[in-house]
Amino acid sequence: MATTSDIRNGLCMNWNGKLVSVIEFQHVKPGKGPAFVRTKLREIESGKVLDHTFSAGHKIEPVRIERRQYQYLYEEEAGYNFMNTETYEQILIPARLVEKPEFLQEGMICEITFHAEAETPLLVDLPMYIEAEVTYTEPGIKGDTATNSLKPATLDSGAEVRVPLFVDMGERIKIDTRTGTYVERVK
């Protein structure tokens, strides 16, 4: 068992029967009254962000997690198949554990978070940015660059994003997987 003095960013712990990760924390010692720790917690399974205040000295139950590199192979009805890049062992990950599956590309290296004691996958993190080819978008009108208007575009992975008017079919673009937004054209 640990106490609130052990809380740090990224700590994974068992709280109210659920696994949560500490996003940020602040130790507060008011002039009057006892100290406390104000935290922002993310539920690992649902991704929900919660605010909670622990009194100083409160017991917490840390959980050991491991992050491992896996390569995405293919999709099937039951979920997504990944391969460990070190042992070449394959694992089937349920679709609910992948946050933005529309951005998955064959051969992509992802980071999978595992519960170390139970050896169960908890979360799949995609790379921050991906490069993809635009398979369909409406043609832009020549000279229409004065505004920063966006138009819908379909990527080779099947995802739909909004891109600037100057992006055409067949071009490769960089996408932020956290927000699903266009970043830049790739040369």
Averaged pLDDT, groups of 10, the chain, 187 residues long: 86 89 90 91 84 91 90 92 92 87 91 87 89 88 70 90 88 91 89
Paired sense of beta strands 109-115 and 160-164, if any: unpaired
Query: Count of alpha carbons within 13 Å of 150, Cβ hemisphere only?
Result: 10
Look at residue 116 in the predicted model and tell me its pLDDT.
85
Q: How many helices (H) and strands (E) does the chain have?
A: 0, 16
Using CA atoms, how far residue 81 sits from 6, 30, 86, 158, in Å, is 36, 51, 16, 18
Q: What residue ranges define each of the domains in the chain, with the CATH number in brackets?
A: 2-62 (2.30.30.30), 69-125 (2.40.50.140), 129-185 (2.40.50.140)
Q: What is the largest CA-CA distance in the chain?
A: 66
Q: What is the pTM of this model?
A: 0.74
How far apart are the C-alpha atoms of 39 and 58, rounded to whole Å? 13
Look at residue 143 in the predicted model and tell me its pLDDT.
64
Q: Which two tokens stand for residue 46?
A: 């649902």
Look at residue 84 in the predicted model and tell me its pLDDT.
92
The answer to whether 83 and 90 have CB atoms below 8 angstroms apart is yes
